[in-house]
Structures are given as C-alpha cells and as structure tokens.
Structure 1
Amino acid sequence: MGQQKPQIRSTTVLGVLRDGKAALGSDGQMTLGNTVMKHSTRKIRSLYQGKFVTGFAGATADALTLLERFEAKLEAYSGRLDRAAVELAKDWRTDKYLRRLEAMLAVVSSDKALIISGTGDVIEPEDGIVAIGSGSMYALAAARALMKHTTLSAEEIVRESLQTAAEICIYTNDHIAIETL
C-alpha cells in the first residue's frame, strides 16, 4: 500500500463586517501532520488598491495560485467583487488544473463578505461573518456571540475570536494578523 500524504492543517481565517467597517484576520500557524512547521505565516492580503482583504486556507501554493487568479479577475471586472468571485469559482470548478487545488478564500470589502470554495460555491453569509480553515468554527461561534452581545468593533471581534480559536484548536496559534477596511 502507498504511503498516505500528511494532511496540511494550517490556519484559521475570520472576517467580520460591522458598522460600515470590515476586518479580516488569521493566525500564523502552519502545521504538517502533527508538527508545527511555522508560527508566523502571513495568510491575508490586501487586493485591488486596498479595496478588498482576502485570506486563504489550505495548501499554500494552491492558495497563492488562487489568490493570483482572483486578483486578475478583480482587475478584469473593474473591482466588481461578486462578478470576480463567480468567475473565479467557475474557472476553479471547470479548469482541469485548478480543480485539483486544495484551498479556500475568504474576502471582505467594506460592505460585503464572501467565501469562495473549490467546489464552485460563492457564499455570502447573512450575518457578515466569514470563517475558513481548521479553527474556523470556533472563531465563527465566538464572533457570532460577540456580534450579538457586545459593541466591539469589527477588528476587536476578529482579534478576540481568533484568540478564542487559538485557545481551543491545536492547528491555530495566537500570532494574529489583521487588516481592516
């Protein structure tokens, strides 16, 4: 029997929209199998003249490839986020090479939050919170509670929620990077 490839579990990315502001952040841990390979990986990027922030989860080379493609779609469609996301998802689903990429993207603008998946999904959560990666459900739960029961800013919610995920998820650490719009 062939050897099983170690699974890369590498991140928690969380984006929040609140009061006309957006924040997207991630932890810095990259894990291969049961080994932490790096503590300070940067998994978020500003795109299209600073109008969008995106984060990625999954295999790094795959995610960076998708990020480049997404940025090209934003340029091709004059910064229209919905159109660029749908066109990337269509390419991702139908292109023989792209179909093999194992990654997800979370994108925020000042008024929209999206998740773009490799299965062709473009998801806009009703609550303005996007979460992807190994610790995403922990961060999502914390963010929803903070949105409901506090007046914290989008950036503060992202920071506190990622910190909560880091305390629970072994694939998430507290080397948090956040960008705001």
Structure 2
Amino acid sequence: MGETVVHGTTVLAIKKDGKVVMAGDGQVTMGDTVVKHQAKKVRKMYHDRILTGFSGSTADAFTLFERLEGKLEQYNGNLKRAAVELAKDWRMDRALRRLEALLVAADRNDCFILSGTGDVIEPDDGLAAVGSGAPYALAAARALIRHTGMSIREIAEEAMNIAASICIYTNREFTFEEL
C-alpha cells in the first residue's frame, strides 16, 4: 500500500496599517479524496493578540501550535522572538524536524512564515500565504491591495475565493480571524 499524501489548504494573512486578518479554507484531503469540509485552520493565540494558521499535517500543526504558544508565554507575547526560538527548536529537535507543516503567525506589528527547515520568513509587504492555494491567494491579495480601496477583510475574502476557484484542494468554507 502506498503512502497516504495529505494535500490542501490555503491560509492567507494580510497585515496593513496596524490591522491583521487571517483566512483559511476548510477542506482536508487525503490523496484525491475530500475527507472534511469545515476544518478550522486559523486561530487566535496569546490573549487573542496573535493570529496563527497552518498547512500540512494537522497533528504536526497542532504540535507546532502548542510549541509556539509555549514560546509566546516564555517571551511575553514577543512574536518575533517566539518565532525565531521555535524555528531553532524545530531545526534542532529530531522529532520536530520530521513534522510536516507550515505556520503563518501574525500580530499587529509582525507577520511570519515558519517552515520545518528552520526558516522564519518575514514578507516584505505584510502578506503571507501557505498551502496549495497560497500562490493564487497571495497574487490576488497583492493585486487587490495595490489597485483597489477594499478593506483587508474584503481583500482576504476575495483572494480566498479566487484561490478556491483555481486550486482543487481549496474550498469556500472559510474561517476568518482579525486583530
């Protein structure tokens, strides 16, 4: 029996002018089969001051969420420090290195993508996306921010709808969180 491949997800974060919105779709697939339609892939952390979202293995993502929450507590909600320290642990710990997930974390000041290879990527423009639909959502959000007067919530909604219309692993059962 072959390896089961879990695909999917689009998570998009937009940080602009002290506001943040994060959106995630709800689809979970195994191979070419949809197994869940309304998964919650974005959530608030650290006294509702930080937004997080994930793509990849759900169990691995929850492990990373727990680790990030611990780092946020340890560093009094300093997202930048917590992200860097989590990435160090992720890279050095043999068990963590095997985790297959990507995280997006954002607060009113910072936005990061954290990878299993120990990367902490801070986007230049306050836009971050992970998952199979990420390139579509990110491109749409960039165009809408540059060429419309839409709010970041409206931009997130439209960008996610565009991603869902292109990516077969992204549905329209969106969850939004805002700061």
TM-score by length of structure 2 reads: 0.98
* Equivalence for 2:45: 47
Matches of residues 1-181 of structure 1 in structure 2 within 5 Å?
Answer: 3-181=1-179
Which whole-Å CA distance do the structure 1 matches of 2:147 and 2:96 have between them? 41
In structure 2, list runs of 5 or more residues that go unmatched.
none
CA deviation string 1:27-71 (max 9, x = no partner): 000010000000000001100001100001000000000000000
CA deviation string 1:84-115 (max 9, x = no partner): 00000000011011000000100111121110
Residues 22 and 111, structure 1, Cα contact 8 Å, conserved in 2: no
Residues 80 and 110, structure 2, Cα contact 8 Å, conserved in 1: no
Which whole-Å CA distance do the structure 1 matches of 2:3 and 2:67 have between them? 26
Which whole-Å CA distance do the structure 2 matches of 1:79 and 1:104 have between them? 20
How far did residue 4 of structure 1 move?
A: 2.6
How far did residue 81 of structure 1 move?
A: 0.6
Root-mean-square deviation (Å): 0.7
Which whole-Å CA distance do the structure 2 matches of 1:78 and 1:18 have between them? 23
Which whole-Å CA distance do the structure 2 matches of 1:157 and 1:109 have between them? 18
Q: Secondary structure at the match of 1:85?
A: helix
Aligned length: 179
Give 2:72's aligned amino acid: L
In structure 1, list runs of 5 or more residues that go unmatched.
none
Which whole-Å CA distance do the structure 2 matches of 1:172 and 1:152 have between them? 23
Which whole-Å CA distance do the structure 2 matches of 1:108 and 1:157 have between them? 17
Q: Secondary structure at the match of 2:71?
A: helix
How far did residue 144 of structure 1 move?
A: 0.5
